[in-house]
Chains A and B, each alone.
Chain A
Amino acid sequence: SINCEATVNEAKSEGRTDLIPSIKLRHCCLLRNQRCLTAYLYDRLLRIRALRWEYGSVLPANVRFQMCAEELQWFSQYKKSLAIFMRSLGGGEGLDITQDMKPPKSLYIEVRCLKDHGEFEIDDGTVILLKKNSQHFLPRWKCEQLIRQGVLEHVMS
């Protein structure tokens, strides 16, 4: 069988140029493995990045469980970069560009609660109880994240 290092040394020291095709073939295999691994890891990063936009800045435990330490660190740094960028918008006032990704039609929307989520305070101090199957008329900006996370459902009339 081909023991790569020994073969390479033999090719060099003994001038065995006939071994070069085999060395080259094995090198192709190594490059192939490297390509597959890199593409896989890169694709994971693209999906993790998309989660920040689609789901939110805090990932559910079952997803975090599937991520390696480097990926968690990457997500945390990406979050930070995004936050810094968003704070710099609107003349220093900041703008949350992860909100209103679909053009809003109204300030308030009808939502139905899909699972018990406990108490929820809205801006004027009122507290709403989000109980499964309850329906509420709430400010859109407060609901967007909960809708993305599957707690609320946007009811269209």
Chain B
Amino acid sequence: MNMQSYFPVPPGVGMEENFLSLDDILLSHERLPVRSDCAFPRLGFLEKSADTQDIAEGTKMELPLWLTKGLYEKKRKVVSVELPKVYREGWRTVFNADPNVVDLHKMGPYYYSLGSQLLHFDSPENPDIAQTLLQTFIGRFRRTMDSSQNAYNEDTSAVVERLDSLEKGLFRSGQIGLNGFQSWEKGQATQLTASSLVLNYRKRKITDIQP
């Protein structure tokens, strides 16, 4: 709903997640390559590849972020997290060379957020990962901001489809600001409008009639 009075819980910043943020819930659904450092008795049914009663130590699995975070312990070996391809040295070199070339939606779509969450798992490459995330963002930000402020009433899908979710949010904010300004310039800012609830309901009724 596009309402001016609806303020959903925003995603957390950096390594933090907001418990009630729907965006963070979606983010934490993303999977990570993980290796079990202990056995998980009686949970063999979760691992479709092997037909065992238990998950053995050393099993490689893809676990969602929320489960990985829940199981990971700094001092004890429960699970080890491998770096997904995009965060490894090979791809980091590409990002460092020219961050604007990459399709971050395909690489993500939560490239920055997932990258930040990865830092929880104490990889020795953490400083390099953090650095790449930051530099990539800085490198791309200017173009994202420019296009969001200059594309008025245009089809922006070509630009947007290569952005990661964080950049998409920024782009959208830029567009909202731009459209708001344009509407104010035209004297439309004071026009009273129907609640979006009414507008959405009307749209749905029309589609009910159509075969």
**A interface vs B, CB < 8 Å?**
1-2, 7, 18-19, 21-22, 24-25, 27-29, 31-32, 35-36, 38-39, 42-43, 46-47, 49-55, 60, 62-63, 101-105, 109, 140, 143-144, 147-150, 153-154, 156
Shortest distance in angstroms between A112's beta carbon and chain B's nearest beta carbon?
Answer: 12
Question: Hey, which chain A residues are within 8 Å of B21, CB to CB?
Answer: 39
Known: A22-B41, A43-B22, A50-B1. A154 touches B71 (CB 8 A): no
Q: B153 an interface residue at 8 Å Cβ cutoff?
A: no
Most buried by A among B21, B191, B199: B191
Number of A-B residue pairs having CB atoms within 8 Å of each other in the complex = 123
* Bound form: Cα–Cα A19–B42 in Å: 9
Among B104-112, B138-146, B182-190, the stretch in contact with A? B182-190
Residue of A nearest to B64 (CB): A32
Closest 8 A-B residue pairs measured CB to CB? A28-B70, A150-B198, A50-B5, A53-B5, A50-B6, A154-B192, A54-B195, A150-B194
B3 and A50 within 8 A (CB): yes
Sort chain B's interface into a size bin.
Answer: 35 or more
B-side binding surface: helix, strand, loop or mixed? loop
* Bound form: Cα–Cα A36–B191 in Å: 38
Partner of A150, one of B4, B39, B66, B195: B195
Question: Hey, which chain A residues are within 8 Å of B202, CB to CB?
Answer: 150
Partner of B67, one of A2, A32, A62, A109: A32
A-B contact pairs, 25 of them (CB 8 A): A2-B43, A21-B40, A31-B70, A35-B25, A38-B19, A38-B20, A39-B19, A42-B20, A46-B7, A47-B6, A49-B5, A54-B6, A54-B197, A60-B197, A60-B201, A62-B201, A102-B189, A102-B190, A102-B191, A103-B189, A105-B190, A109-B192, A147-B192, A149-B195, A150-B202
